[in-house]
Amino acid sequence: MGIQLFILILFPILAPTFTFSSPVSDPELVVQQVIEKINASRRNLGFLSCGTGNPIDDCWRDDAVNPKPGTLRYGAIQNEPLWIIFARDMVIKLKQELMLNSFKTIDGRGASVHIAGGPCITIQYVTNIIIHGLNIHDCKQGGNAYVRDSPEHYGWRTISDGDGVSIFGGAMFGLIIAHCRIVVDGLIDAIHGSTAITISNNYLTHHNKVMLLGHSDSFMRDKIMQVTIAFNHFGEGLVQRMPRCRHGYFHVVNNDYTHWEMYAIGGSASPTINSQGNRFLAPDRADNKEVTKHEDAPQSEWKKWNWRSEGDLLLNGAFFTRSGAGASSNYAKASSPSARPSSIVGSITMGAGSLKCKKGKRC
């Protein structure tokens, strides 16, 4: 089942006919007549608009409570499973955060689709979501407004964080974020018992706190969290949290880390971190070569946390501090897929980010 999305922009031609006598006896009166006729013509175009009489703007602008059929928000909130594709290249500026309903695939392949300049994507208490091939950047805070999350319900939303993708909710499982290019204030956050999440083949750049996985050290429901972070490129301008983990299990596999200013992978509250086959290129500064950061705990505590590095390529002085069972060579988690050799991470991640696909051709 699919839905093809498009944004309809009407550009009516305002061409009233004016007849002037010659010579003009009163230029000011003529100007006033012209203005009156133009305004009358614009009012007559009101039937083309979606409600307020502005036919150029109203039919395509984002409506967070009553979205128009054919818009991204309209497809995203429907109850039935939908595969949402895009008719053409477009930049979507959301008025409020985009709330997704369950069983949705948003597929940007075949077009250059940007969600930018406004609030971005929120995934809350839903399941089975795929986000693929989008460019998400310049996200802003939204909120203090009503936002619809299904055909039957809309509610009051407080101020949002301005993240690219915000994941929230104990009922959440089955999420894939793949082949997106994300450059925003807070790239991906997953909290409050979100689990079964895969973040793969994305290109992430220019941000301080990149990825937060876990609500707080005291929120024990996050122990169910399982996240796979694979085949991503962590690039220029990144500072920390790639990711920053709390409770739960995190498999970080075959990613390319070409920049960090503080650290790459961090955590608190005894997360299990399984790092395999990644390439870590340390910055040139001598004081931040360490890949890992054990946060908010003394060494007597964090040395028990299970942090493992296997087959990672550590360049330019980079080093990974193992701890707990992860310091043992026989430590592994049975459900983790095998990593490819770190020597080929460059080629594996070459296609990270939104794909340059065109309709009718293979990506």
Beta strands in 282-346 (DSSP E): 292-294, 307-310, 313-315
Order of all β-strands in the sheet with 244-245: 98-99, 121-124, 165-168, 188-191, 211-213, 244-245, 265-267, 292-294
Closest listed residue to residue 154, CA positions, set 246, 54, 63, 28: 63
Q: Is 287 exposed, middle or buried (0-12, 13-18, 19+ CB in 10 A)?
A: exposed
Element (H, E) at 145: strand 145-150
Taking a C-beta distance cutoff of 8 angstroms, is the pair 132, 106 a contact? Answer: yes
How much is the CA Rg of the chain, to the nearest whole Å?
25
Catalytic residue among 241, 244, 246, 279: 241
Taking a C-beta distance cutoff of 8 angstroms, is the pair 129, 114 a contact? Answer: no
Per the annotation, the verdict on 241 as an active-site residue is yes
Q: Given phi > 0 = left and psi -120 to 50 = alpha, else beta, which region is 360?
A: left
Active-site positions read 241
